Homo-oligomer: A and B are copies of this chain.
Amino acid sequence: MRESEIIKLFMSEIRDEILGDDAGYIRVDDRWILLTTDMLVWRTDVPDFMNPEDAGRKVVTMNVSDIAAMGGEAKTFFFSIGIPKDTSEDVLRGIARGIKEGSKRYGVRVVSGDTNDVKEIVVDGGALGISERLLLRKNAKPGDLVCVTGDLGRPLLALLLWLKGEDIPKDVLEKARDPIARIEEGKALSKIANAAIDISDGLSKELWEIARASNVRIIIDENSLPIHPTVKELTEDPVDIALASGEEFELIFTIPPNKVNEIPFEFTVIGRVERGNGVYLEGNGKMPMLGWEHFVGFGNAEH
């Protein structure tokens, strides 16, 4: 079964739950407590341009990013680690250091840890956050502008160069090894935006998620995408790379035009929300739902 089928199976068996947004949430007094977990599987999620510190740090980033995407402030990080008996102390120490660095960077406390004997390294992380107002995927409104933080394309470009055995430029490697969750941005957006999502699986997939959950049409201007200069320089299809690049941990958000001048950080307007459904490229038809598989499947990958 594919992951989407497995998730469907679990959803059909476990009803009355909140699976779907970046994090689950419950109400406590006048706040929302947000909760997320995200598992890193060494074999598939840690290409060898990353070291154990990078991996540990990334588990924290993945999880606090989910909290940020819901408009929350991450407070604590927790983890369970599964490791084969023959794992070297260096690797373990590296993961632990990475987790510590990540938790320091994002100002979260590590409150629980658990280790288990598993046949391959898995690090299942989780984060708890607090928010006064939730940003949900389903709340995008016709008339909203669609915006994104940071730049796009570097993590996928790094992966493609790595698969081809080519050198990865330093500025590209930097984000691929150590993406940064948009904590402050998420907090600020919780007061003014309508919907948000973080880019784990690629811009196009995340936009389709918002369009579907909110029952709206999203129109994107491909010329406005904040594609990283090196991605433009090194690839023939920079727009496709930007649409497909995952693990960016940038935030996509939709916001009423009259709130845009209240945004206290740099961002790029990339499109707008209309009545209807689906995601479209301005003057260029439906946006394909691209992932990294698209490039690896049809590219020159030799791994």
A residues with CB within 8 A of B: 1, 3, 6-7, 9-10, 13-19, 23-26, 28-29, 31, 33, 35-39, 41, 43-44, 75-76, 78-83, 85, 87, 89, 92-93, 96-97, 99-100, 103, 109-120, 122, 124, 126, 128, 130
- What copy number does this chain have within its complex? 2
Residue from A16, A78, A111, A120 having most chain B Cβ neighbours under 10 A: A111
Cross-chain contact A14 with B100 (CB below 8 angstroms): yes
Given A78-B35, A100-B13, decide whether A19 and B112 contact each other with a Cβ distance below 8 A. yes
Residue of B nearest to A42 (CB): B118
A40 closest partner in B (C-beta)? B116
State in angstroms the CA–CA spacing of A120 and B89 once bound together.
22
Q: Are A110 and B14 in contact (CB under 8 A)?
A: yes
With A25-B111, A33-B33 known, 6 other A-B pairs at CB within 8 A are: A14-B113, A15-B100, A24-B111, A36-B78, A80-B124, A124-B124
B contact residues around A112 at 8 Å (CB): 18-19, 23-24, 35-37
B-side contacts of A109, CB under 8 Å: 16-18, 24, 26
